[in-house]
Amino acid sequence: MKSRSQSARIALYLKPLFMNELRVENLHVAIGDQQIVRGLSLAVPRGEVHAIMGPNGSGKSTLAKVMAGHPDYHVTKGKITMDGEDLLALEPDDRARKGLFLAFQYPSEIPGVTIANFLRAALAARLPEGEELEATDYYAKLYEKMELLGMDRSFTSRAVNEGFSGGEKKRTEILQLAMLEPKYGVLDETDSGLDIDALKTVAHGVNTLRGSNIGILLITHYQRILNYIVPDHVHVMVQGRIVRSGGKDLALELEERGYDWARAGADEPVLTR
């Protein structure tokens, strides 16, 4: 048996083989024979918040769904890894249980299944076989997160997204993010459909979750949300590629100058980091 100090010393010599990051390398995605993502590269380390901004139809949601393993999209080239592990080889549910979360731009409705039951099933799916969720702890956590996001407790007994307003759906996505505590969260236009007060609440929720344990990729059209959730990096995506990357000020510059500016002089894909 090695002593504790010995193994600590050994650990010092071991360099990690990979970064703790969500990494996309030279990704090409097609649907049918239409290329939607064309040579996109990106890396979001844990502990950072990256924003992707891009015009309608530039392929932002496609990127998000491909990361999550949506069956409709065909990856023709490139790699996606999470903490060094090949994500493309995994089923969507495996990716989720290993720590990838996608807040959908258009969340599905699940008739008859309450939020409480849905989240409970999702959490239970993460437990080792034979272990069960402790009901009191579960509800305590659920109510705490709902309070953080300014949601009424009555929501727990409503069916997931059924008859929810656009804003309520977005809040529910972030509630799920908060409950499932993923390693990486991809938030696809969580800001759209939120009024200004809701935006502040949701941003506050995300900022509370922010920390060294989670990497966040924030997809948005508008600079507005970035005033509340301040990103470490901003990427501009046009026609399936990252055309510019920079600090948080890039978002302001983009707002001022528009996407044409971003597009100009960026014919070659920019490799970030």
Partner 1 sequence: MKTENKAVDIDRNRGDFAYPEVHIRDAGRGLSEKTIHYISDVKEDPDWVREFRLRGLKTFLEKPLPTHWASKDLEAIDFDKIRYYLAPGSGAKRSWEEVPEDIKRTFERLGIPEQERKFLAGVEAQFDSEAVYSNIKKAVGEQGVIFVGSTEGLKNHPEIFRKWFGKVIPIGDNKFSALNSAVFSGGSFIYVPPGVKVKHPLQAYFRINAESFGQFERTLIIADEGSEVTYMEGCTAPKFETVALHSAVVELVALKGAKLQYITVQNWSSNVFNLVTKRGLAHEDAEIKWIDCNIGSRLTMKYPGVVLKGRKARGEVLSIALANNGQHQDTGAKMIHAADETTSNIISKSISIGTGRATYRGLVHVPKHLKHCKNNTECDALLINSTSRTDTYPAITVRGTGNAVQHEASVSQVSSEQIFYMQQRGLTKAQAMSLSVNGFVNDLVRQFPMEYSVELKRLIELEMEGSVG
Ligand X SMILES: Nc1ncnc2c1ncn2[C@@H]1O[C@H](COP(=O)(O)OP(=O)(O)OP(=O)(O)O)[C@@H](O)[C@H]1O
Pick from 31, 89, 121, 125 the residue near ligand X by CB under 6 A.
Answer: 31
Return d(Cα 207, Cα 209) in angstroms, integer: 5
CA-CA-CA-CA torsion sign (206, 210, 213, 214):
positive
* Interface of this chain with partner 1, residues 95 to 114, rule: CB under 8 A: 96-97, 101-102, 104, 107-113
The site for ligand X, by CB under 6 A, has a size of 13
CA–CA–CA angle 242, 243, 245 (5° rounding): 80
Residues 203-242, one symbol each (x = binds partner 1 by CB under 8 A, - = not), give ----------------------------------------
Copy the structure tokens of residue 14. 């071991």
Q: Contact at 8 Å (CB) between 259 and 246?
A: no
Nearest approach, Cβ of 123 to partner 1 (angstroms)? 8
Range in contact with partner 1 (rule: CB under 8 A) among 40-48, 91-99, 142-150, 237-245: 91-99
Give the phi and the psi of residue 40 in degrees, each rounded to 5: -105, 135
**Interface with Mg ion, residue 61, by CB under 5 A:** yes
203: which residues sit within 8 A by CB, 6+ positions away?
A: 225, 228, 229
One residue of 38, 46, 50, 60 binding ligand X per CB under 6 A: 60
Q: Kindly state the smallest distance separating residue 197's Cβ from partner 1, in Å.
A: 27
Site for ligand X in 100-119 (CB under 6 A): 105
Which pair of structure tokens corresponds to residue 34?
Answer: 């239409």
Amino acid residing at 41: S
- Under the criterion CB under 6 A, does residue 33 sit at the interface with ligand X? no
CB atoms within 10 A of CB 130: 5
Which residue has its beta carbon closest to Mg ion?
61
- Give the C-alpha separation, 176 to 167, whole Å: 14
- The smaller minimum CB distance to partner 1, of residues 186 and 238, is found at 186
| Interacting residue ranges for ligand X, rule: CB under 6 A | 31, 36, 54, 56-62, 72, 105, 221
| Interacting residue ranges for partner 1, rule: CB under 8 A | 68-72, 91-93, 96-97, 101-102, 104, 107-113, 117-119, 121-122, 125-126, 159, 176, 180
